[in-house]
Structures are given as structure tokens and as C-alpha cells.
């Protein structure tokens, strides 16, 4: 069932499948996963669109970060099922210059009009998964998956800003995108936290674990992670992050949960295991009668495409 949740967690919003599923039967789970994977990939035509800039991207109304989430889910699909049907498309998407950018850090000029620091997290999660699972990388002109994950980390960590809020990374990269340019949010900083933790585990280098701890401590200090481990949306640098936006979304809890679990595994420290456990307990807020939902928008039917794609990151974090 975990595989089903991982794939559903990034599938484009508004899709409903009618399928039979026996959660105790591995063949039934694989068949259901195959159906969902096929449905997810039906949204992608960037490799046959005749538009080179669309390779690896999704058409409107979806965003570039959702494309990164798609490739991460398809990596999960291959890892858990062994079905390599989509591998060539995934490799093409993750190595296309229009996505990697000239420095192979996933800051491509082709996407500057929509590029946010949170986007780097989702592409980084996918690239890091490829590194962790030794996913094929047949093009010798492109750096290794791990090298590109390091490049993404370096890009994000270089944007750590201490002029306001005593630290943190802003949501947006460019002033030309005014929506959130002054906002330090949990998804961006959670992305940096999780990447640092996973790179520490992959390389054994303490400096990355130190970065993960630094981001965590800052989120606690500012109040983005509350006393009961609810992960809140963000705060504005204009008031030095004194006023936290106490909206909570599923995906930020999942992102921090994954990172904390990795830190617990890597360090062997009880404090990280306790933090992961408390985040897992806090995730109960997102369940109603054992059904995962987005309480910030579902009760009043106000979820946009971003919000709809957030659901199930909690399951990915639990995985």
C-alpha cells in the first residue's frame, strides 16, 4: 500500500480511478500501481510536444515543481515494482539541460519565470532518490546523480539569509516573482533540511548533518515547527518573522518527517528518533476517519492545484 500512496501523492489533482485492490496481494498492488503510474504519465507529453523547453515539464495549469514530484514518484514506482517501462523518459527529464541548467544545479534560465527555492527541493528529492537507488545514468556528459544533488544543496544553502529572521531561505529566488519574495516558508527550508540529511547519509560527511541540524534549530526558533510539532507554512522577513502564518499543509510535515527519520538513522541519536516520532504524531491532524485530507482547504473546497498535489507527502515521509 505504501507504493500506492507514494504515487497517488504526486499524481495530478482531480483524477479518480475505479480499480480493485487487494492490499494483501502483491500482484494486486503492482497492478494498481501500474494503473496509477500510467494515469500519472498521461499528463506528460513534453518529450513528444515538439517544444524542447517542455522536456521534463508539465503543461499548464501545472507547475515545474510538480514535474519534479512526478519524476520522484516514477523513481519510486520503478524501485518498488521493477517495471522499467518509464525509465528512459525519467532519465531524459532529469538530465535535460532545460531542467538541470548550465551548472547542473536545477536553476535553469528556461524556468526563471516560475522558479522558486521550493522547486529545487522537489527536483532535489528526485535526483537524490536516483542517487540512493543507483538509478541508471547513461550520459557521461552529465554529472552523477549525487553530484547534481550536491549542486542543488549548494544552491539552496548559498541562499541562507541572516539579514532577517536570523537565518532561513526565502521562498522565491527572483524579485521578478513578487509572490512570496519576502516569505521564508517551511517547504523551502524543509527541502534544504531533508536534502542535507540525505546527503549526510549518502556521503558520511558530518558537515551536511550539521546543516540539517542548523535548519531544524532555526525552524524551531522561529516557530515554523510548533511546540506540538505542527509544521506551519511560513513567516515574512519584513517583520523579522515575528508573525508566523499558522496554516499547516500535509506536505511540509511529510518533508520534515522524512528528513528527521534519515537523521535518526544516520546519527543514531535518540533526539532525532523522538523528533521523527513527534512529527508522525502531529500528522494525525491530517486524517479524518483514517482518510488523509488537506484541512487547510478541503473543508471549504478551496484547494488549488498546488494544494491538491500536496496530499500524501505525509505517506512518503512515513515510507
**Torsion angle defined by CA atoms of residues 191, 123, 311 and 32, in that order, rounded to the nearest 10 degrees:** -140
With pLDDT > 90 as the criterion, what percentage of the chain qualifies?
80
Higher pLDDT, 15 or 262: 262
Instruction: Note the pLDDT of residue 12.
Output: 47
User: Over pLDDT 70: what percentage of the chain?
Assistant: 91
- Helix residue ranges per DSSP H, 204-285: 206-222, 250-267, 270-282
The domain made up of 159-319 has a fold known as Glycosyltransferase (1.50.10)
For residue 263, count CB atoms less than 10 angstroms from its CB and return exposed for 0-12, middle for 13-18, buried for 19 or more: buried
| pLDDT score for 83 | 97
Phi, psi of 152 (to 5 degrees): -65, -45
Higher-pLDDT residue of 176, 243: 243
| 10 vs 101, more confident | 101
Average pLDDT of span 30-42: 92
pLDDT (mean) for 75-97: 97
Question: Looking at residue 177, what is its pLDDT?
Answer: 83
How confident is the model over 189-194, as a mean pLDDT? 99
Classified as helix, coil or strand, 92 is helix
State the average pLDDT for the chain: 91
**285-300 mean pLDDT:** 91
Span 270-295, average pLDDT: 94
pLDDT of residue 317: 52
Give me the residue spans of the domains in the chain. Answer: 1-127, 159-319
Pick 164 or 314 by higher pLDDT: 164
- pLDDT tens figures, 90-128: 999 999 999 999 999 999 999 999 999 999 999 999 999
For residues 75-94, give the mean pLDDT.
Answer: 97
Amino acid at each position: 500500500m505504501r507504493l500506492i500512496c507514494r504515487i497517488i501523492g504526486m499524481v495530478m489533482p482531480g483524477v479518480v480511478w475505479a480499480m480493485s485492490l487487494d492490499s494483501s496481494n502483491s500482484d494486486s498492488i503492482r497492478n494498481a500501481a501500474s494503473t496509477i503510474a500510467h494515469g500519472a504519465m498521461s499528463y506528460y507529453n513534453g518529450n513528444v510536444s515538439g517544444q524542447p523547453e517542455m522536456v521534463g515539464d508539465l503543461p499548464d495549469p501545472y507547475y515545474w515543481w510538480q514535474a519534479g514530484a512526478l519524476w520522484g514518484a516514477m523513481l519510486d514506482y520503478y524501485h518498488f515494482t521493477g517495471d522499467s517501462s518509464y525509465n528512459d523518459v525519467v532519465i531524459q527529464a532529469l538530465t535535460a539541460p532545460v531542467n538541470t541548467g548550465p551548472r547542473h544545479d536545477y536553476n535553469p534560465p528556461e524556468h526563471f519565470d516560475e522558479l522558486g527555492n521550493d522547486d529545487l527541493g522537489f527536483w532535489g528529492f528526485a535526483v537524490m532518490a536516483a542517487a540512493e537507488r543507483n538509478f541508471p545514468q547513461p550520459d557521461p556528459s552529465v554529472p552523477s546523480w549525487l553530484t547534481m544533488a550536491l549542486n542543488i544543496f549548494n544552491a539552496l544553502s548559498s541562499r541562507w539569509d541572516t539579514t532577517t529572521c536570523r537565518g532561513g531561505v526565502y521562498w522565491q529566488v527572483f524579485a521578478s516573482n513578487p509572490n512570496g519574495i519576502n516569505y521564508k516558508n517551511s517547504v523551502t527550508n524543509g527541502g534544504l533540511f531533508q536534502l542535507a540529511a540525505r546527503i549526510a547519509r549518502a556521503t558520511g560527511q558530518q558537515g551536511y548533518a550539521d546543516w540539517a541540524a542548523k535548519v531544524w534549530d532555526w525552524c524551531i526558533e522561529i516557530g515554523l515547527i510548533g511546540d506540538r510539532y505542527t509544521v506551519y507554512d511560513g513567516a515574512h522577513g519584513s517583520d523579522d518573522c515575528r508573525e508566523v502564518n499558522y496554516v499547516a499543509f500535509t506536505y511540509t510535515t511529510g518533508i520534515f518527517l522524512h528528513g528527521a527519520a534519515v537523521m535518526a538513522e544516520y546519527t543514531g541519536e535518540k533526539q532525532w528518533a523522538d523528533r521523527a516520532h513527534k512529527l508522525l504524531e502531529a500528522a494525525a491532524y491530517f486524517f479524518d476517519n483514517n482518510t488523509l485530507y488537506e484541512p487547510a482547504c478541503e473543508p471549504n473546497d478551496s484547494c488549488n492545484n498546488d494544494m491538491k498535489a500536496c496530499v500524501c507527502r505525509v505517506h512518503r515521509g512515513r515510507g
